[in-house]
Structure 1
Amino acid sequence: MQRLVILGGGESGVGTAILGKKKGYEVFVSDFGKIKENYKDVLNQYEIKWEDETHTEDLILSANIVMKSPGIPEKAPIVKKLVEKGIPVISEIEFAAKYTSAKTIGITGSNGKTTTTMLTYHLLKSGGLNVGLAGNVGKSFAWQVAEENFDCYVLELSSFQLDGIIDYKPEIAIITNISPDHLDRYDYKYENYIASKFRITMNQTEDDFLIFDADDEAISEWLKQNKTKAKLVPFSLSKQFEFGAFIKQDTMNILINEEELEMKIVDISLEGNHNLKNAMAATSVAQLMKIRKETIRESLSNFQGVEHRLEKVLKIQNVQYINDSKATNVNATFFALDSMTVPTVWIVGGVDKGNDYSELMPLVREKVKAIICLGIDNKKIIDAFRDVVDMMVEVDNMRDAVITAKHLTEKGDAVLLSPACASFDLFQNYEDRGNQFKAAVKNL
């Protein structure tokens, strides 16, 4: 009997354990942190052995194959030992893909991937396809492969998940954009991170498609220097294509397989240029999957955005409060600031992942009237912006951040939570941070 060891007892770990058990593996789950009670209950119910708050080396190093949760770095001592022993260490996506004949649409990118994933799922589901949603969003992919029977899956894939693939390939891949992020996991080398994103296309064949942002420098550069077998489907705000998606005056055009779809930009529910790109990427998938044009147009006009991504919370005394807690890197915050049209009080800070704030300078000068630093260590943000804005305040909890913001605004202003950082210094995750912001705003 093959022995499957799973590092990490979260959603992807437990999902993989269930699928492994169903496929006849001897399964063991080991988590160096604490496994949540509801996951322990599931593991017990399936009679899967587990441990938490420790890694018992003998039990782990006796594996034939190991699934590592995406949050565990390659540099972790136990992972290094497994690699030294030549035991394959793979991701949940790699493990589960072998057990389904469903088509997969894999979506990666530094920003916009959740919105693009949710919109693609919405388009395909509205088009009547039997479709699952997994990866970084929704229920674990492996869990769904074990218990559901979908014809296709829309998968949001992080670079960490892609690092753990060997044979997996999506029939349709999307790279929304690439900007420096998570560099702490890539030896602070941007090219390593870019290469990681492009693993999404490494196993694709001539029958597969790669949808990509043709305006993105890092993507264009990689495609110049490297080869993929997949058919290329570019999208752009400024260029036009005979095969791909583009904007012409006030209309989005999708030209794929001799089929043309046009839609007025004003009819698309998502606002902002970055969302136009997300819409072009998702619509390209819908066209490739032969969803009816009428359905596509309808779905693009009624799609509700993603929670914690430029989410309008409330307007109080004519000040708009906006929750963009999902902006965990500089590039995401760039989009947020870029979309602001009124003087803005900006709440920023958290765990810095090697951020370079210089690209935000022009936007901060133009749009930001005050900065509230919400983090344990705000030195880098203060050094970057102290000469750019008149007012900077440091706080260490969300309630103080929101109350301070209220005092710094006048009628017609906006308050934007767009942290550009991870949340783990003061919050459980970006959702917790966003929910605390919304609660604090509602209590004003």
Structure 2
Amino acid sequence: MAIISKEFYPQAGSLVVLGAGESGVGTAILAKDKGFKVRVSDSGQIAERYKNQLLQEGIPFEEAGHSTAEILKADLIVKSPGIPETAAIIVSLKEAGLPVIGEIEFAAQYTDAKLLCITGSNGKSTTTMLTYHILKEAGLNVGLAGNIGQSFAYQVARESFDHYVLEISSFMLDDMYHFRADVAVILNITADHLDRYDHKMENYVDSKFRMIRNQTVADYFIYCLDDPETIAGLKRHQTEAVTFAITQEQQLSQGAYLGANKQLVIDAKTGEEFQMPTAELALKGKHNIYNSMASGLIAKVQEIRNDILKQAMASYINIPHRLESVATISGVQYSNDSKATNVNSVWYALESYNTPIVLLLGGVDKGNDYSILKDLVKDKVRAIVCLGKDTSKIHEAFESDTDLIVNAVSMEDAVALASNIAEKGDTVLLSPACASFDWFKNYEDRGDQFKAAVLAL
């Protein structure tokens, strides 16, 4: 299945893990279990829970800096996906000719479980969780990992699953070379993280298409026929895998599409065709139909029965911080979409609501182009409440598209402003389009502060 040939990397000797987060600590534990002499190095301070885990496992570590000379003596380096190729330590390692790989690449060689892998600029967490929910409901022995939950490496070391549903980011894909996905999904590709890709969209697209490297005729590839960047990328990247498309714009002889009366139709040629009214799906909105299509196709190629698939798709509860309903207060609905860290995610969020919206927007701008939101803002947004230190770009982008744009000084202030502006029947929507680290620890902290402020009203 997904095992990497032993010829590619040393199977014992000295291994250094760069980065002591969830991914790094899990990798260190797996490496120790497999007989490596392991050391962990982090340029920053290691969180107490991870430090305690390393101490309990007897794995040596350093923090607040890298001992480069010692690291260069290692046989193999496994790095955190958050460390860019341009970091001084990585440049030194590559110049020395040392193999530098990621957690997913490393852990995959120690399991023969089926790897069901999902990437995309938007929707990958939702699709990963929905797929996991479906397979659990079907009674499969399945793990959840990647860019979500407990690290893949730790689960390979200490658990025993027959399947893994893996959420894979482009940063993870950049450190994967011989890894093979049994099922590879590319949901969509829109501009994001371009600072890691020389500000070239083509480089980012190529990173996403690393998902289908090494696939064989025994594997499956699922992609969106309606996504222009994916279609353009297909011209440069071929696969031997069995290929299925998802689309809402045409009908297919196989794959997933919208049939008559907004029926979700899935046919993977592995059994009876699946049909389900989109109104019965637990996940609402046009973008979530794509997510449901992808999850449904994964389920069908795993030969999940139609009755189980239908029940699971109707019963799923969405992940926190992704169009998460928080409360309805005085007739105003409050929704937490803190995970929307790019402009396309906000487009999907706005598209999902039919009520007037007071939009909480802003944070650390990643070179956002807000032009695609202008029509939706004109049609749906009553007011914008700006978050973050620099809000000038938001004012410039939308000053002619909505009646009111105001700046907040904290999340509590933002929620108070929004509640005063909103009218009965409106939705107050936190969907920032930006990174969170000017005011918050991460998007989860931002969403949690939003929820706390709402519940304090």
Q: Which of 296, 300, 313 is residue 309 of structure 2 equivalent to? A: 296
How big is the shift at 1:333? 0.5
Q: Which of 101, 123, 132 is residue 134 of structure 2 equivalent to? A: 123
Q: Per the alignment, in what secondary structure is the counterpart of residue 129 of structure 1?
A: coil
How big is the shift at 1:118? 0.4
Confirm or deny: 8 A CA contact 2:263 2:275 kept in the other structure: yes
Aligned twin of 1:176: 187
Distance 2:146 2:237 in 1: 26
Q: Which of 391, 399, 415 is residue 412 of structure 2 equivalent to? A: 399
Aligned twin of 2:381: 368
Q: Per the alignment, in what secondary structure is the counterpart of residue 383 of structure 2?
A: strand
**Structure 2 letter corresponding to 1:288:** V
Q: Per the alignment, in what secondary structure is the counterpart of residue 285 of structure 1?
A: helix
Aligned twin of 1:419: 432
Confirm or deny: 8 A CA contact 1:3 1:26 kept in the other structure: yes
Confirm or deny: 8 A CA contact 2:209 2:237 kept in the other structure: no
Alignment of 1:87-102 (within 5 A): 87-102=98-113
Aligned twin of 2:161: 150
Q: Which of 254, 258, 269 is residue 266 of structure 2 equivalent to? A: 254
Distance 1:338 1:305 in 2: 17
Distance 1:6 1:226 in 2: 31
Distance 1:94 1:396 in 2: 43
**Structure 1 letter corresponding to 2:299:** A
**Structure 1 letter corresponding to 2:366:** K
How big is the shift at 1:137? 0.8
Distance 2:221 2:237 in 1: 14
Q: Per the alignment, in what secondary structure is the counterpart of residue 384 of structure 2?
A: strand
Q: Per the alignment, in what secondary structure is the counterpart of residue 107 of structure 1?
A: strand
Confirm or deny: 8 A CA contact 1:169 1:204 kept in the other structure: yes
Q: Per the alignment, in what secondary structure is the counterpart of residue 369 of structure 1?
A: strand
How big is the shift at 1:191? 0.6
**Cα deviation 1:108-139 (Å, max 9, x = unaligned):** 00000001000101111111110000001110
Distance 2:20 2:270 in 1: 47
Aligned twin of 1:162: 173
Q: Which is worse superposed, 229-238 or 381-390? A: 381-390
Distance 2:28 2:270 in 1: 44
Distance 2:292 2:38 in 1: 41
Confirm or deny: 8 A CA contact 1:205 1:229 kept in the other structure: yes
How big is the shift at 1:209? 0.6
How big is the shift at 1:180? 0.3
Distance 1:342 1:252 in 2: 25
Q: Which of 130, 146, 166 is residue 135 of structure 1 equivalent to? A: 146
Q: Per the alignment, in what secondary structure is the counterpart of residue 235 of structure 2?
A: helix
**Structure 2 letter corresponding to 1:152:** H
Q: Which is worse superposed, 62-71 or 14-23? A: 62-71
Q: Which of 435, 440, 443 is residue 430 of structure 1 equivalent to? A: 443
Q: Per the alignment, in what secondary structure is the counterpart of residue 98 of structure 2?
A: coil
Query: How many residue pairs get matched?
Result: 444
Aligned twin of 1:46: 57
Confirm or deny: 8 A CA contact 2:286 2:351 kept in the other structure: no
Q: Which of 393, 403, 417 is residue 380 of structure 1 equivalent to? A: 393
Aligned twin of 2:454: 441
Q: Which is worse superposed, 142-151 or 250-259? A: 250-259
**Structure 2 letter corresponding to 1:80:** V
Are 1:335 and 2:335 matched, yes or no? no
Q: In structure 1, list runs of 5 or more residues that go unmatched.
A: none
Distance 1:361 1:219 in 2: 24
Confirm or deny: 8 A CA contact 1:182 1:354 kept in the other structure: no
Alignment of 1:196-211 (within 5 A): 196-211=207-222
Moved over 4 A (4+): none
How big is the shift at 1:224? 2.9
Aligned twin of 1:322: 335
Confirm or deny: 8 A CA contact 1:6 1:30 kept in the other structure: yes
**Structure 1 letter corresponding to 2:171:** F
**Cα deviation 1:35-81 (Å, max 9, x = unaligned):** 11111111011111101111111121112111111111111111111
Confirm or deny: 8 A CA contact 1:365 1:388 kept in the other structure: yes
How big is the shift at 1:225? 3.7
Q: Percent identity?
A: 53
Distance 1:49 1:396 in 2: 43
RMSD, aligned CA: 1.0
How big is the shift at 1:148? 0.4
How big is the shift at 1:424? 0.8
Distance 1:226 1:105 in 2: 20
Please report the TM-score for the alignment, with normalisation by the length of structure 2.
0.96
**Cα deviation 1:305-339 (Å, max 9, x = unaligned):** 11111111111111111100000111100000111
Confirm or deny: 8 A CA contact 1:315 1:321 kept in the other structure: yes
Q: Per the alignment, in what secondary structure is the counterpart of residue 204 of structure 1?
A: coil
Distance 2:217 2:224 in 1: 20
**Structure 1 letter corresponding to 2:367:** G
Q: Per the alignment, in what secondary structure is the counterpart of residue 266 of structure 2?
A: strand
**Cα deviation 1:133-178 (Å, max 9, x = unaligned):** 0001110000000000101100000000000001001100111111
Aligned twin of 1:272: 285
Confirm or deny: 8 A CA contact 2:197 2:203 kept in the other structure: yes
Q: Per the alignment, in what secondary structure is the counterpart of residue 334 of structure 1?
A: helix
How big is the shift at 1:258? 5.1
Distance 1:75 1:364 in 2: 38
How big is the shift at 1:185? 0.8
**Cα deviation 1:377-402 (Å, max 9, x = unaligned):** 12221221122222111123100000
Aligned twin of 1:113: 124
**Cα deviation 1:74-122 (Å, max 9, x = unaligned):** 1111111111111111110000000011110010000000010001011
Are 1:85 and 2:96 matched, yes or no? yes
Distance 1:342 1:278 in 2: 23
Q: Which is worse superposed, 382-391 or 16-25? A: 382-391
